[in-house]
Structure 1
Amino acid sequence: METRQQWDVQTLTALVGEADDAGADVAADGGAGTDGNDAAFSEVNLSGVRIQRASIVLKQQFRIDASNATVQWINDLIDGRPIGPIPAGEKYQIRVVDSPVDLHQVIKGKVTEEGEHGLSRLLATYDWPYASAKNPGEPNGRWCVEMHREKDGRWATGLLDGDNRGYIAGSADAGPGSDRFCLPRNYGISSNGSAGLGKKSWAERPETVDEVGSTFTIQGFDLNYAGAIIGPSVKLREGRVVFDRSTSCSSAATNKREGRPDYSEQNLHNELNVLLKRGVHGLYLFAVDPALQAALKAAAQR
């Protein structure tokens, strides 16, 4: 009778989606490690084929240099549990800022502190349109993360009516106190990359400090500090995070195939999980949803 070794498919899927992303310490069935020990496998018989199967259990994250309490706080936010106080006295920094403009300034400050090879960047959920073709609505054809501040102080997606200026490098309206936020999506400033950088990744290119990354440019990559803009697809309702597929611009995440289950909520959850776990030393947050932003601010002040 034929014998094979096979990883449990569901567990392996979780491993690919999470361990590669977040870093993990893993153990197999029976508590044994995945170091080639045969005792880690259990045998099953499928239609006359004997298969030795091992399920991998994710136990600990290495990517975030933070205490268990801090990692748990981030997980609680992502998983829709009540948002408690941000753990105090931690070397890992979690800060909640008042606007996307402030978030950009904080990240640029971190890059300055880090020097020539600073790896701190802005990221955002996929809640603003993006396409490989040029954007006909922006002067330079870029796709941007656009927001403006309403008279009541609330930040809303999009620019004000009549504002067709798009991204302006070094513009004064990008500074502290501005009521306008407009930065290109990944590779929007220099689609051909920086001169002399060859195949450097998105975050390693100096001009990308003025861009906003996504799961597609940052997945599997470590930053020193991540500034995350949580867009309108992530909301706080009845004290818990919920996901709103109607406001996401990611068709890959939200398209429901006929006759198939709707995985939109899980996909948007996974997107948030990737974005909030990129920073090794710190995470800076701004949420478009007023209720979520207020809850995050309250969590930072307790």
Structure 2
Amino acid sequence: MSSTISAATFKLNDQAALSPAQQSLEHQLLTFIRTHRQQKQPSLFVIHGDAGTGKSAVLAAAFARLQALNRSLTPNDLQATDNYLVVNHNEMLKIYKRLAGEDPVLRKKDFQKPTPLINRLAKEHRQADVVFIDEAHLLLTQPDRYNRFTGHNQLTELINHSRVVVLVFDTRQVLKLKSYWHSNDLKPFLDQYPHANYNLDEQFRVTGGADVVDWIDGFTRGQLQPKPVSDNFDLRFFDDGQPLYDLIKQRDQQYGLARMVATADFPYVVNHGTWYVTAGQLKLPWDKVNLTDDPWALRPETLNEVGSIYTIQGFDLNYAGVILGPSVGYDEDHDRIVVRPERYEDQEAFKNRTDLGDLRPLKQQIIFNSINVLMKRGRYGLYIYAVDPALRQRLLAL
């Protein structure tokens, strides 16, 4: 296994670690930047791909290559350019800044959250040369006072202040109404600007092959398929949360990077005491607010906590123990997974929108998206406990 950091996040070793498809993408990206950087209007390069297809890995590798050319003492066409990598995700930003400390061509200031960068570029009346956006589906699509964003769409603002924008986009990882993107919401941007699209479809995280990925994909569309059998991937269902947690602790001791995670179905208020996740006999605290520079999954004490979609999105684990809370149920008449937004405890995710029409199907999709994010964390194993008794029995019957 590679170093703890690369194993815990996205593969960020060297050029040899990139697949042929990723190397091709990196080459196309830099060619696109060279071609479009001097043009009068902004240009967009969009990378599509499901969770675990290596989008962040190739984005980080391409950005490091760009900054190496930017800071090179040898004259070249990308020397002395003004470039940033943006991500609207605190835990992923920590990883990028940590990597910057290990790479001589990167600086911590190269990595930003979107609102501070937008506000600074606007105040200074200037354009960046290239802005990379990881997890662009987390960008806000409405004003947000809490985040000091007064515009209407963060992608619009970043395009307005950049010559080239490179963005990673996956609508199946949208987790909040305030950053809700429909699958065709990029179209107006692509119609307006010169652009290129690239689709990464090779699964790098989940080692169980297509059968395991298809099973998870089916589950997040409400379908229950027969349990896949894989020599490379340990998929198990549990009748109680305690033996699941005992196995996660054992896996962490054996291989490292095994953690418990759960859907946002258990009450939690930031900075108001300790809040718990319950799964049968198991009772563990939710993850605490992380004020350290170390991402949640890399801190040993978090083996005794339950992570959320917000602490684990974008990261690799070796083994993931997933607790499906009360919002995830089972319809016996139709043999389908159902989700119940009224049981979902993440109030921030469902803050009201008046511009999106009927919100119930969008809320249901957000819950399915969160399940997709959680179930695709583990490289070598996925262990599942369902709080809903009917769903639990149906899973055990698989």
How does the TM-score come out when normalised to structure 2? Answer: 0.51
Alpha carbons of 1:66 and 1:89: their partners in 2 closer, same or farther (altered >3 Å)? closer
Q: CA deviation at 1:199?
A: 2.3
What SS does the corresponding residue of 2:194 show, helix, strand or coil? strand
- Structure with the higher fraction of residues in helix conformation: 2
After superposition, residues 261-280 of structure 1 pair within 5 angstroms as 261=357, 262=359, 263-280=362-379
Q: CA deviation at 1:252?
A: 2.6
Alpha carbons of 1:50 and 1:216: their partners in 2 closer, same or farther (altered >3 Å)? closer
| Counterpart Cα distance in 2 of 1:4 and 1:211 | 44
- Structure with the higher fraction of residues in strand conformation: 1
| Counterpart Cα distance in 2 of 1:90 and 1:60 | 19
Equivalent residue, structure 1, for 2:211: 69
Alpha carbons of 1:84 and 1:260: their partners in 2 closer, same or farther (altered >3 Å)? closer
After superposition, residues 62-211 of structure 1 pair within 5 angstroms as 62-81=204-223, 83-114=224-255, 118-134=256-272, 141-147=273-279, 155=280, 180-187=281-288, 199-211=293-305
| Counterpart Cα distance in 2 of 1:254 and 1:58 | 30
| Counterpart Cα distance in 2 of 1:243 and 1:105 | 28
Equivalent residue, structure 2, for 1:56: 198
Unaligned runs of 5+ in 1: 26-45, 135-140, 148-154, 156-179, 193-197
Match of 1:249 among 345, 364, 380: 345
| Counterpart Cα distance in 2 of 1:255 and 1:270 | 17
| Counterpart Cα distance in 2 of 1:54 and 1:181 | 48
Q: CA deviation at 1:73?
A: 0.9
The aligned length equals 222
CA RMSD of aligned residues (A): 2.6
What SS does the corresponding residue of 2:348 show, helix, strand or coil? helix
Contact 1:229 1:287 in 2 (8 A): yes
Alpha carbons of 1:3 and 1:183: their partners in 2 closer, same or farther (altered >3 Å)? closer
Alpha carbons of 1:54 and 1:297: their partners in 2 closer, same or farther (altered >3 Å)? same
| Counterpart Cα distance in 1 of 2:346 and 2:192 | 42
Equivalent residue, structure 2, for 1:162: none
Instruction: Work out whether 1:6 is the aligned partner of 2:34.
Output: no
Unaligned runs of 5+ in 2: 1-38, 56-187
Alpha carbons of 1:296 and 1:2: their partners in 2 closer, same or farther (altered >3 Å)? same
Contact 1:2 1:50 in 2 (8 A): no
Equivalent residue, structure 2, for 1:31: none
| Counterpart Cα distance in 2 of 1:239 and 1:50 | 44
What SS does the corresponding residue of 2:282 show, helix, strand or coil? strand
Alpha carbons of 1:242 and 1:204: their partners in 2 closer, same or farther (altered >3 Å)? same
After superposition, residues 281-300 of structure 1 pair within 5 angstroms as 281-299=380-398
Q: Which amino acid aligns with 2:269?
A: A
| Counterpart Cα distance in 2 of 1:223 and 1:5 | 35
What SS does the corresponding residue of 1:70 show, helix, strand or coil? helix
Q: Which amino acid aligns with 2:52?
A: A
- The percent identity for this pair of structures is 35
Which whole-Å deviations, capped at 9, do the CAs of 1:191-216 have from their partners, x for residues lacking one? 66xxxxx6221111111111100011
| Counterpart Cα distance in 2 of 1:289 and 1:56 | 39
Match of 2:323 among 229, 247, 252: 229
Contact 2:320 2:377 in 1 (8 A): yes
How does the TM-score come out when normalised to structure 1? Answer: 0.66
Contact 1:24 1:59 in 2 (8 A): no
Which whole-Å deviations, capped at 9, do the CAs of 1:84-108 have from their partners, x for residues lacking one? 2212243111011111111111101
Higher deviation after alignment, 200-209 or 253-262 = 253-262
Alpha carbons of 1:216 and 1:4: their partners in 2 closer, same or farther (altered >3 Å)? closer
